[in-house]
Structure 1
Amino acid sequence: MTDPQLSAILAFLGGTVLAFLLTLPYVAWSYRRRGEFGLGHAVLAFGLLVYALALWTYTLLPVPDTTPAWCAENAVSHPQLRPLQFLRDIRADQVGRGIRATLHNPAVQQFVFNVALFVPLGMFGRQLFRRGPVAVIGIAAVVSLFIEFTQLTAVWGLFGCPYRLFDVDDLFANTAGGAIGYLLAPVLRVVPGRRVRQAPDVPRPVTTRRRLFGMLLDLLAVVTLGGLLQVATVVSLELLERPTPPSWVLGTAVPVAIVLLLVPLLGDGATLGQRAVLLRPVGPDGGKPSVGRMLVRFLVGSGGYFILSATAWSGLGTLLLLVNGVMAWRPRDHRGLSGVIAGLRVVDTRAGAETGAKVDHQDATLESGR
């Protein structure tokens, strides 16, 4: 496997892991900034994550073993500070004539690669962040300069010596790539699901997909928080040479209590997943549910699933989760099994008590068209 192939694989795998960890905060940001999720926008955001890691892998990896002996023989001690040196390198490396010979010229390939590496930055800068040409080109120049100084300083002193070349021509090529990317950015408009239909502060109906999405985010939050707690605690206790608690305590019990019980009790009754998609439960009076109703919802809903899954009744827990999923689709108000038993409704947080009821009644009509 070549270095570029390895860098591409690492960038994609790293981007996937980061996307998993950042799903909940991204969804919460998207609903507050855009008013809704938008699959197309999420696809572009994932592409940005992979691209950001690709910049790191392609410019800094692979990292050699920078021992004193290696540095004495291989360290890049003199930066390339002559502007347009790449033109001299192209003439020096040219073998033969014609377009084919030029395309096989390593100096040409290196320059074209440095331009192409920053084309996505220009495209994302214009399409995702809505920046103008001056800002996009300036960002490309600053990012390129940061990378070059990172290479010059041996990753800011983390390694024994510089192992990549600081090249002033790379600044020119990267900045040109950002400018080209800005011009090519309209190509990304073909990605569907990017446009926002209404202003961010306008309440949306409580649909099946939105309810299920909130439930999925709750499960994701429990798994992510449980994993982070386990890693942090195990590493800390291992260093202190102390015994570690059972994995289900930190992996399940604590995150379930935080995400599905503590957050709703201390807030407006919504779980982390519901808060991300701007949903909240309300009692019969349209206000925050009572503690008793929230406890019933917890036991009949996702909390009951996790409790049963940790016992010999795991099959019953799976059945409970499926029933909750089905009942988030029917009845039409998407109350779910826990909502029906606890006597709760789910409304958009952007709607007041009266508006929330009105939006709920509109749900059946809009849902039939989805």
Structure 2
Amino acid sequence: MLSAADRPTLARLLHPVAWWVWAVGLAAAASRTTNPFLLLLVIAVAAWTVLERREIGGSNAFAVFLAIGLLAIVLRLAMVAVLGGGVTGRVVLVRLPEVPLPDWAAGVRIGGPVTAEGLLSAAYEGLRLAAILACLGAANALASPRRLLRYVPATLYDVGTAVVVGLTYAPQMVEDAGRVRAARRLRGHSGRGLRELAHLAVPVLEGALERSLDLAASMESRGYGRSVHRTARSRRAGSLLTMVGLLGVVAGLYGLLDGSTPALLGLPLLVVGVLLAGAALLVGARRDRRSAYRRDPWGLPEWVVVVTGVVPAVVLVVGSQQAWEGLVPVQVPLTFPALPILAVAAVLVAALASVLAPLPPQRAALDAARAARPAVPSDTMVPS
């Protein structure tokens, strides 16, 4: 018999770790290809999942990350057009005035011919970065980073707090800026120009400061806080072991995401880093005690969402190792990118999370209210 946490139809918030594993797996899949159709499919899957499973009133960080991804594509195209680099093409679209450079700057140019192949390669690379940012934006929209802070080990509580603040500060300021701009427009201001931007800075920063003070006061009134009883020697040893382990994890993840790195920089280094970091966390957790209040359950829906995110990562990593046709389109000569069917199916598996994950409580309540609302016949006359 399934428990309450294992029922996929039960309205509840999914565990934030499950959403982040799903998003990281989808981002890892996007990092292994430059096929524009696959990358657009990754963005579409992330957007659809956010549309279906984002809680009402939750963070709208996904739109912000999409805008940053679009900006990354534009900057990539501009840099390749002005500074060159990347693929050397044959089809010249335009010739920009070229600035002569000294001999020691060989390989670097400013201006010169702009080729279609070079711009296409830059667009592919920029679109890959935009897809990865879209996956991270989906994770921020589906599971607030502040919820992750409850599951950070006690040894990394301070570091986790700094990371959570960094992940939530920019999207929250964008939302505050939108509210202030809308309020100023209601008062007759145009809302454009650098002068108007300067007028937005003070109320946005003031609102962020007031919100921080209110949160700190509410936490203090509820007895939040912690006391750590550790010697200086154990603290230094634990910090060193943790830092070495985290560096190994970061280097290992970079090796997995970048197919051009040596094999030893990928999975082996990641495993060693995880073991070292895990040992440091276990040692520190014995001394740093933290209390928990109503932790999110981990049931069958969490496992399903994790699997749907891991499948595309595994399939595309294997495909990149075996050099499947279409994962990295050929730019010289210009050809229409092939579409690997197995990779498309793997990315579509991630879209199952939008159906198999439970509905958030407020969204489920709104859907129930709409379903219970009596339907009005189309031929009913409304009296004047």
Shorter-chain TM-score bucket reads under 0.3
Structure with more contact order per residue of length (Cα contacts < 8 Å, sep ≥ 6): 2
Task: Tell which structure's C-alpha radius of gyration is larger.
Answer: 1
Q: TM-score, normalised by structure 1?
A: 0.22
